[in-house]
Structure 1
Amino acid sequence: MDRATQLFQHHRPRLFGLAYRMLGTPADAEDVLHDAWLRLHAQGVESLDDPEAWLVTVITRLALDRLRRAKSDREHYTGPWLPEPLAPETDQPEAEHERSETLTLSFLLLLERLSPEERAAFLLHEVFDYSHAEAARILDIADDACRQRVHRARTRLREGRPRFNVDAAAQRRLLERFVAAMAQPTFDTLRALFAEDAIHISDGGGLAQATLHPLHGAERLARLYLQLGRHLLQAKVRYELTTLNGEPALLMHEDGGLATAMWIESDGERITAIHALRHPHKLARLAPVTNPPSAASL
C-alpha cells in the first residue's frame, strides 16, 4: 500500500463521518471520499504540510457542492425526504469515532433545516471540534462569517430538536408495544401509542407506497396504522428489532423482502414522531445484512 493510500485509510473514518453527516446518504459520502482519494494521489502527499487538514478541506468542499445540487433536486422529490441509514455492520465504528448522537437518523433529518453552508460550518465546529478560525479556513470564508453561520445553525436546530431526551431502552419498549398493537390492531390501542401532536413522515420517493405529506395528530396516525395493520395481517409481515445509526429501529419484511425501516422519537411513554423509510433504493443497502443472528424477530 503506497503512502497516500495509507494516509487516506488512517483518516477514512473521520472523513466518512463528515461526508455522511453532510449528505445523509452513504453512497454519496462514498463518492465524495473516492473523489478526494483521487485528488490526493494527483496532488502527492509530499507536497502537503498538513495532509489531514487538506483532506478535510477537500471532503468538505466536495460535499458542499454535492449538497447544493441535492437541495435543488429535493425540491422536486416525491413526498418527504428521509436520510438513508448506515448498514448495521458499518454503524458502530462510525458512531464510536465521533459523538454518536449526531449520527442518529433524527439528527440527520434535523440538519436538513440548515443551508448547505450552515450545515458545513456547524458540523466542523460543533461535531468535529474545529475552531471558528480553522473552520473558516476550510470553508474559505471570514472568521466572523463562520461564527454567524454556526450561530444561525444552532438557533435553527434548537427550534427543531425533540423536546425529550429518551434512552434507547425506552425507545425499544415503545417499538415493541407498536409491534404488539399492529398484531391485533384496534383504533384505541394504536391511538394510545401516540402523543396528541405526534407526526408521521414516510419516504417512498415515488417508488413505493407512502404518504405524500407529513400527517399530524394521534387520531390521524391511529387511523392510518389501523388500516396498515389490517393489511399487514393479510400480508404476513415479519417485524425485526435492530439498531440503525446507534438507535433502536424496526424493520418490516413483506413477501420475503425488506419493505420498511422505521424509527421513532418519543417522550418516554408515547411516540411523538414516527419515520417510515420505504424508498427501495435506500433500503437496498440494508436488505442483505438485516436479520443477523443477534437480531430480534417478532
Structure 2
Amino acid sequence: MDGFEAQRPRLMGLAYRMLGRVADAEDVVQEAWLRWAQADRANVADPEAFLVRTTTRLAIDRLRRVRARREVYPGEWLPEPILTATDDAADQVVRTESVTMAVLVVLERLSPLERAVFVLREVFEEPYPAIAEALGKAEPAVRQLAARARAHVRDGRPRYEVDRERWGAAAGQFFHACATGDMDALLATLSPDVSLTGDGGGRTPNALRVVRGPAKAARLLMGIFHGPAMRHFLARLGLADAEPGILFADANGRPAAVLTMDGRPVGFLQPTIVDGLVHDVYVITNPAKMAGLMSQEEGPLRP
C-alpha cells in the first residue's frame, strides 16, 4: 500500500528488536499495515510517525503477552537468529550492534517500555518528543526510561574482539572443534571465564541454565552435538547416519555457524571473542528457531 512498503524494513527492524522473534515481528508489522489501511489519511499528518507509533505500541502489547510464556520456558530463552549478510534493503536495517545475540539478551532484561525507548532512541535516533508521543508518556519520564535502559545495556553488554581477521581465526577454530568433536582443540579456544547460554526449547539436548568455565562448557558442547541424546534425536529425524557439515554466515550482525546433518540445521552457534578466545557462547538447538538459516552455501569442515 502507498507509503507502507517503503517503511516495512524499518518497522521490521523495530519489531524484531522489541520481540526477538521473526514471526512475532512479522505479525506486529502486519497488524500495523491493517491499522494503516483503515486509517483516515486526511488526518495523518506524518505517515512515518504514525507507522512507528503504531508498530511500537503493538510490539509493547505483544511483548507483555509473550513474556508470560517465556517465564515458564524450559531453560533459557534466546532470540531467534536472523541472517544479516544479504544485500536486501530489509537486512540493512538489522546490520548493527543492536541485533547481536548478546545485546538482544541484555534487552530481554529491560521492561517493555525501557526496551521501546532504547530501541527508538539509540537505534533509530527518534527525538524524545516523538518517543513520548508514541508511548503516550511525558517527555521527562521518557528521558528517565532512556537513562535506565542505557545503563542496563552498558552494564550487560560484553566486550568484543574488534580485529576481524583475528576474530575469524579464533571463531573458525572453535566452530571446527564443535563440529568434529575434538575436545582438546575445543578447550584451547575457550577463555578461562567462558560462559555458555543454550536454548533447546525443551525439545533437544541443551543447557537448562548458564554454564560457566571451560571444562563444563566444553563437555556440554560435546554432549549437545555428539552425545547419545542428540544421536537419539537425530535418529527420530531419520538422520542417524547423516554426515556433519557447517554453514558459515553473518547472523545478527556477527559471524556465526550453523551445524547441519545432511544439510538440515541442528544447531546455531555464535561466540563472542575477547583477546583471541571465546568468552561467551550462544547455542540454539530448538528446531522452531532453525528456520531461515539455510540460505548460505554449505562449507567444508576446516579451521
TM-score (norm 2): 0.87
Moved over 6 A (4+): none
Indicate which of 81, 91, 99 corresponds to 2:77.
Answer: 81
Code of the residue aligned with 1:270 in structure 2: it is: L
Instruction: Name the structure 1 match of 2:252.
Output: 245
Deviates further, 131-140 or 156-165: 156-165
* Displacement of 1:152: 0.6
The corresponding residue for 2:64 is: 68
Specify which of 105, 114, 119 is matched with residue 123 of structure 1. Answer: 119
Q: Which of 108, 115, 140 is the matching residue for 1:112?
A: 108
User: Identity of counterpart residues, as a percentage?
Assistant: 38
Deviates more, 1:62-71 or 1:240-249: 240-249
Contact 2:242–2:262, Cα closer than 8 Å, also in 1? yes
Cross-structure match for 2:237: none
Write the distance in 1 (CA, Å) between the matches of 2:139 and 2:50. 19
Give matches, 1:95-110, under 5 Å. 95-97=91-93, 100-110=96-106
Q: Over aligned residue pairs, what C-alpha RMSD do you find?
A: 2.3
Post-superposition shift, 1:78?
0.7
The match for 1:260 is 267
Contact 1:95/1:103 (8 A) holds in 2: no
Kindly provide the amino acid, as one letter, of the partner of residue 175 in structure 1.
A
| Structure 2 CA distance for aligned equivalents of residues 167 and 207 of structure 1 | 37
CA distance in 2, matches of 1:8, 1:226: 47
What amino acid is the match of 2:300?
S
Change (3 A) 1:228 1:235: farther
Paired residue for 2:207? 211
Answer with 237-246 or 134-143: which moved more. 237-246
Would you say the 8 A contact 1:91–1:244 is kept in 2? no
- Residues 91 and 246, structure 1, Cα contact 8 Å, conserved in 2: no
Kept after mapping to 2: 8 A contact 1:125/1:132: yes
Q: In 2, distance between residues paired with 1:45 and 1:168?
A: 48
Structure 1 unaligned regions, length at least 5: none
Which residue pairs with 1:32 in the alignment?
A: 28
Any conservation in 1 of the 2:170–2:277 contact (CA below 8 Å)? yes
Q: Distance in 1 between matches of 2:22 and 2:87?
A: 11
Task: Note the 1:139-178 alignment, pairs <5 A.
Answer: 139-178=135-174
AA aligned to 2:299 is A
- 216-225 or 25-34, larger mean C-alpha shift: 216-225
- Mark the CA change 1:192 to 1:98 in structure 2 (over 3 Å): closer, same or farther: closer
Aligned to 2:238: none
Aligned to 1:23: 19
- The structure-2 alpha-carbon separation of the partners of 1:248 and 1:128, relative to structure 1 and needing over 3 Å to count, comes to same
Amino acid at match of 1:62: L
Q: How many correspondences in the alignment? A: 290
| Alignment match of 2:285 (pick from 259, 278, 284) | 278
Question: Which protein has the bigger helix share?
Answer: 1
Structure 1 residues 135 and 85: CA distance shift in structure 2, 3 A: same
- 1:19 counterpart SS class: helix
> Per-residue deviation at 1:89?
6.8
Supply the AA of the counterpart residue of 1:209. Answer: P
SS at 1:296 equivalent: coil
Contact kept, 8 Å, 1:33 with 1:59, in 2: the verdict is yes
| In 1, Cα distance between equivalents of 2:267 and 2:180 | 19
